[in-house]
Amino acid sequence: MKKKSIANRLSLRIMAVLIALSAVIMITVYVITKDSMAREAESRYEGIILHANEKIRGVLSDVYVAAINNVNIIERDIDDPDKLQAHLERMVSQNMYMSSCRLIFEPDVYPEKGHEFEICAWRDSGEMVRGRQMNENHPDFQIHSWYKDAFKSSEGDWTPPYFDREASRQLTTTYATHIHDRSGRKVGMLGADVSLEWLRQRHQRVDAENHERFEKGFKEQSYSFIIDNDGSYLIHPDESRVLKKKFQEITAQSPDTLDDVVARKMLQGESGSCRLQNDGIDSWMFYSFVKYAEWTVVIVVPEAIIYHNGNMLAAIILAVLFIGLSIVYMLCHHFIKKSMRPLRRFVVAAGRVAKGQFDVQLPEVKSREIDALRSAFKDMQISLIDYEKATASKAAMEQELKIASDIQQQMLPKVYPPFPERTDIDIYGEVVTAKMVGGDLFDFFIRNEKLFFCIGDVAGKGAPAALVMAMAHSMFRSASMAYASPKLIIEYINRSVCEGNDSCMFVTFFIGVLDLANGRLLYTNAGHEPPVLVREGYTRFLYVDNNIPLGLKSDWEYTEQKAFIDRGTTLLLYTDGHTEAETVSNEQYGRNRMRQEASRLAHRRLDSRSFIKAIQQAEQTFVGDTPQGDDISLLAINYKGKTDMKHYHRGFSLVNEVQEVSALAVFMRSVCEDMHFNELTTAGVNIAIEEAVVNVINYAYPKGSRANILLEVMADEEKITFKLCDDGMPFDPTSVKNKDVAQPIEKSNVGGLGIYLIRHYMDSISYQRIDGQNVLTMTKNL
Amino acid sequence: MNAIIKKEDDKRVTLILDGRLDASVASHIAKEVEPLFDYSDCEIVIDCSQLDYISSSGLRLLMIINQRCRANHCELYIKGLQERVLDVFQTTGFVNLFQFK
């Protein structure tokens, strides 16, 4: 989905708030003004009917007053009927609303004039007042009910409107009052006619005015009408209804009952307004009762007109709001967009920075927020420039380290098998460096039928460690050319490493010199991990003295140890990266697991490469994918030896513990097999050697001290010689007096049995003390 | 190397030794045979028919067993010595110290 711009989102939100706000205002204003507008329209129409009411009352009142006033004048001249005509004519001419008037006398009031006597005056179409006397051929007013009722009545009154066929030929109402003779007897009636034509025209005009002024464009328009006190229409736009229909008859036809109620109210002389359905249109009806005449003036206004102004107002407000909000939206959008413009320039700048142009000119800004962004951007630029420099130098350094690493790897033996022409030795080594340049090293070479080998671990990693390692390595090579003693070699390296070693960098180191002819091993260990002797059925750590690592004390005297590596034995050398490899939960692989794994592998009689790979695999299976922080070096030296019966020469070394005797037994069995000894001789030779060795174990050393005891076996065609060497306290077992076995042995006193057994099973024994060593030589003739 | 004590009946107990009885296992076997010293007034037979090898350490252990059993008034016999082991017994004069069956 495409994201909206900030300008868009912000403007829309502002708009939403504004729209909500204005909607509330608009609804409030609409509700208030709609009512007041309606009220205004209502009062307008009320005013119209009130005005009509007043007008009718005024006109009728004028006519009434004129009639009353003329009654006296007429009665004064009652005896002179010829004067009366002039009075009537003056009355009509003086009163513009009076269309005509007449005097109707009872029969035989003026016998000289005939049985009947009636005179009248009227205004003709030319506004001329005319008069006439009618005797016998006048309309027979006297028999009409309205005349009879008026005559009977004690006072004058208005007649119901009627259509005057005689005089004006218009809808007319007449004020009829009595004429008395001098004796006060009622002799006739004076009738003052008011034509309702003017009223009809007035209504037409008012309606037309309303239509013109207030109701233009409306489908339904207002109209007014007048009904008299029995509901008959006097004035109505539909002329056919006049005097023919009654209001209550019309209302009774509609299903609505509301208008019937209104009709009743009108007939009872009430005024007011109501809302109802008129000919299916929602309308307001305003009605006003006219006193004296007892008519009701009515105006019917469609509701749409009443509410028109209010609705118009609402529409105008809505339109204004819409236009206003549109303008606000456009302005908001414009201003926000304008204030966001620097951001776009920042985007461009950032794009350039991303392409590597770190010193790009940043846009100038005005607002505080954007300025904060600009400062942050500026800082980032500076950091990037610094970082670029650092990265460049780091890359250069890494390149150099890569070269150093290559050089270092070239220093280590890397062609396997290293001595393809030899069958007596099988070597394989491998370094896995944790950082690109490591501090681990190993090396080996053969000089004068002696295998010189070493393994070392420089404390620390990376370039400094690699430099020390490279130095130690070259020292090992050069010293090994000069010396055959690991002690001398290691002391030589130590002195070199100590020189100028201000940073106290130290190296753990193990150097061995293996005589390939007989398996004799000379070794010196400088604080390194003890190697493992791996042999089927007999796998253990090589006993090493506790010498300090190289590089700490230049004058330290390192001890040199001797051991024999029997043929078929693998010497496993390693650095602590292997044994201290950790799992995710920081559990170390450990020496014990490694020794057990080596012991298990011993039975498979693998070549050195497969052996190292299997050892690595076991450790990796244990630690899983956990990345290791230290270099890991592994070196396996499998001494196969030679079986040369003419110059038979083998050796075995063991630590001064009685448990080692079982390993000795394995070695002795192998020797006896080489010699083809029978069972009895094998047992005898075994016993002799065990007795000699146990003797050394038990008595040559103080309790708790450890040492290597060496057993060397040499044979020729005539005899087999066993040479047992130890560096314990001087002791000559040959000096022990021979035991007389014929004598019963008392109690547990079996001392001297051992030397007795040696003497018994060997043909000769001799003791020498050479270079601080006890050397016991035992010979058996073949 | 194993040492197994078998009770034949109330009066007879057999100790079976097999393998090599040399210095490396002597102290361990010494512990194994401790229960033998709980018997008194009975006949103890050491079955050596599966014993391949013995050195002076083993002989010393046998001497200790002999002395302690005697102290418990037991009669100790050795039976089934292989030739190479018998040779050691003869060489050392141990043949004179034990009764054989």
Output the CATH code of domain A648-781: 3.30.565.10
Nearest CB partner across the interface for A754, out of B56, B64, B84: B56
pLDDT band at B46 (very low <50, low <70, confident <90, very high): very high
What is the distance between the alpha carbons of residues A607 and A615, in angstroms, rounded to a whole number?
A: 12
How many CA atoms, within 13 angstroms, populate the side-chain half-sphere of residue A642? 15
How many CA atoms, within 13 angstroms, populate the side-chain half-sphere of residue A226? 27
pLDDT at A42: 84
Q: What are the residues whose beta carbons fall under 8 Å from the beta carbon of A609, sequence distance 6 or more?
A: A416, A428
C-alpha A134 chain-centroid distance: 110
Q: DSSP characters for A564-612?
A: E--TTEEEEEE-HHHHT-B-TT--B-HHHHHHHHHHHHHTT---HHHHH
The interaxial angle of helices A308-354 and A368-411, nearest 10 deg, is: 30
What are the percentages of helix, strand and coil residues in chain A, rounded to 5?
45, 25, 30
User: How many CB atoms are located within 10 Å of the residue A261 CB?
Assistant: 13
Distance from CA of A534 to the nearest CA of B (A): 20
The nearest alpha carbon in chain B to A747 belongs to B67
pLDDT at A750: 54
Whether chain A has a CB inside 8 Å of the CB on B92: the answer is yes
pLDDT at A743: 56
Say if residue A747's pLDDT is above 70: no
pLDDT band at A141 (very low <50, low <70, confident <90, very high): low
| pLDDT, tens digit, 9 for 90 and up, residues A70-112 | 888 888 888 888 888 888 888 888 888 888 888 888 888 888 8
Q: Using a CB-CB distance cutoff of 8 angstroms, which residues of chain B are in contact with residue A672?
A: none
Say if residue A287's pLDDT is above 80: yes
Q: Using a CB-CB distance cutoff of 8 angstroms, which residues of chain A are in contact with residue B20?
A: 662, 665
Structure tokens at A145: 């009910």
Structure tokens at B1: 């190397």
Please answer yes or no on whether B57 and A694 come within 8 Å at the CB atom.
yes
pLDDT at A567: 87
Among B21, B51, B55, pick the best mutation site for testing chain A contact (most A Cβ within 10 A): B55
Angle at A326 between CA A321 and CA A329, to 5 degrees: 120
The nearest alpha carbon in chain B to A693 belongs to B23
Structure tokens at B24: 């490396």
Burial (0-12, 13-18, 19+ Cβ within 10 Å), A619: buried
Whether chain B has a CB inside 8 Å of the CB on A661: the answer is yes
Please answer yes or no on whether B56 and A691 come within 8 Å at the CB atom.
yes
Q: Torsions phi, psi of A54, nearest 5?
A: -60, -45
A510-532: burial string, b at 16+ Cβ within 10 Å, e else: bbbbbbbebbbbbbbbbbbbebb
Over residues A130-159, mean pLDDT: 75
Say if residue A660's pLDDT is above 50: yes
Among B54, B92, B94, B97, pick the best mutation site for testing chain A contact (most A Cβ within 10 A): B92
Over residues A181-202, mean pLDDT: 85
Over residues A700-718, mean pLDDT: 89
Domain ranges of chain A: 8-198, 219-302, 412-639, 648-781
pLDDT band at A140 (very low <50, low <70, confident <90, very high): low
Burial (0-12, 13-18, 19+ Cβ within 10 Å), A341: middle
What is the distance between the alpha carbons of residues A195 and A69, in angstroms, rounded to a whole number?
A: 20
Residue of A467, A45, A476, A504 lying closest to A273 (CA atoms): A45
Coil, strand or helix: which one is A293?
Answer: coil
Whether chain A has a CB inside 8 Å of the CB on B68: the answer is no
Superfamily of chain region A412-639: PPM-type phosphatase domain (3.60.40.10)
> Rg of chain A's alpha carbons, rounded to an integer?
72
CB A188 within 8 A of CB A103: yes
What is the distance between the alpha carbons of residues B7 and A766, in angstroms, rounded to a whole number?
A: 48
The nearest alpha carbon in chain A to B25 belongs to A659
Please answer yes or no on whether B93 and A745 come within 8 Å at the CB atom.
yes
What's the ipTM? 0.87
Length of chain B: 101
pLDDT at A514: 94
Nearest CB partner across the interface for A748, out of B23, B67, B94: B67
Say if residue A746's pLDDT is above 60: no
Whether chain B has a CB inside 8 Å of the CB on A733: the answer is no
A205-222: burial string, b at 16+ Cβ within 10 Å, e else: ebbeebeeebbeeeebbb
Lowest-confidence region among A137-141, A245-249, B9-13: A137-141
Bigger pLDDT: A95 vs A739: A95
Please answer yes or no on whether B55 and A659 come within 8 Å at the CB atom.
no
CB A760 within 8 A of CB A780: no
Distance from CA of A570 to the nearest CA of B (A): 24
Nearest CB partner across the interface for A753, out of B26, B59, B85: B59
Whether chain A has a CB inside 8 Å of the CB on B28: the answer is no
What is the distance between the alpha carbons of residues A276 and A255, in angstroms, rounded to a whole number?
A: 12
Mean pLDDT across chain A: 85
Q: Torsions phi, psi of A538, nearest 5?
A: -155, 90
pLDDT at A748: 39
pLDDT at A453: 95
Distance from CA of B67 to the nearest CA of A (A): 7
| pLDDT, tens digit, 9 for 90 and up, residues B66-75 | 888 888 898 8
The nearest alpha carbon in chain B to A745 belongs to B97
Say if residue A725's pLDDT is above 90: yes
Q: Using a CB-CB distance cutoff of 8 angstroms, which residues of chain B are in contact with residue A754?
A: 56
Number of H helices, E strands in chain B: 3, 5
Say if residue A629's pLDDT is above 80: no
| CA dihedral sign of residues A616, A618, A624, A628 | negative
Superfamily of chain region B2-100: STAS domain (3.30.750.24)
Nearest CB partner across the interface for A750, out of B63, B83, B88: B63
| pLDDT, tens digit, 9 for 90 and up, residues A235-280 | 888 888 888 888 888 888 877 777 888 888 888 888 888 888 877 7
Whether chain A has a CB inside 8 Å of the CB on B16: the answer is no
Whether chain A has a CB inside 8 Å of the CB on B90: the answer is no
pLDDT band at B77 (very low <50, low <70, confident <90, very high): very high
CB A297 within 8 A of CB A290: yes
Say if residue A182's pLDDT is above 60: yes
Whether chain B has a CB inside 8 Å of the CB on A659: the answer is yes
pTM: 0.55
Q: Which is it for strands B75-79 and B43-54: parallel, antiparallel or unpaired?
A: parallel
Burial (0-12, 13-18, 19+ Cβ within 10 Å), A413: middle
CB A190 within 8 A of CB A103: yes
The domain at A8-198 falls in which architecture? Answer: 2-Layer Sandwich (3.30)
CB A228 within 8 A of CB A289: no
How many CA atoms, within 13 angstroms, populate the side-chain half-sphere of residue A300? 17
Say if residue A726's pLDDT is above 70: yes
What is the distance between the alpha carbons of residues A472 and A452, in angstroms, rounded to a whole number?
A: 15
Say if residue A759's pLDDT is above 60: yes
Say if residue A147's pLDDT is above 80: no
Percent of chain A with pLDDT over 90: 23
Please answer yes or no on whether A662 and B96 come within 8 Å at the CB atom.
no
Percent of chain A with pLDDT over 70: 95
Residues β-bridged to residue A33: none
**The domains spanning A8-198 and A648-781 adopt the same CATH topology:** no
What is the distance between the alpha carbons of residues A720 and A521, in angstroms, rounded to a whole number?
A: 22
Distance from CA of B24 to the nearest CA of A (A): 4
What is the distance between the alpha carbons of residues B67 and A68, in angstroms, rounded to a whole number?
A: 180
Give the A window 473-492 contacts with B, CB below 8 Å.
none
Domain ranges of chain B: 2-100
Over residues A621-625, mean pLDDT: 88
Whether chain B has a CB inside 8 Å of the CB on A669: the answer is no
Say if residue A639's pLDDT is above 50: yes
Whether chain B has a CB inside 8 Å of the CB on A760: the answer is yes
| pLDDT, tens digit, 9 for 90 and up, residues A393-447 | 888 887 877 777 777 777 788 888 888 898 889 999 988 877 656 678 899 999 9
Say if residue A49's pLDDT is above 70: yes
Length of chain A: 782
Say if residue A745's pLDDT is above 60: no
CB A602 within 8 A of CB A537: yes
| pLDDT, tens digit, 9 for 90 and up, residues A360-377 | 787 777 778 788 888 888
Output the CATH code of domain A219-302: 3.30.450.20
Q: DSSP characters for A722-749?
A: EEEEE-SS---GGGSPPP-TTSPPPTT-
Please answer yes or no on whether B55 and A757 come within 8 Å at the CB atom.
yes
Q: Using a CB-CB distance cutoff of 8 angstroms, which residues of chain A are in contact with residue B22?
A: 661-662, 665, 690
Q: Using a CB-CB distance cutoff of 8 angstroms, which residues of chain A are in contact with residue B64?
A: 748
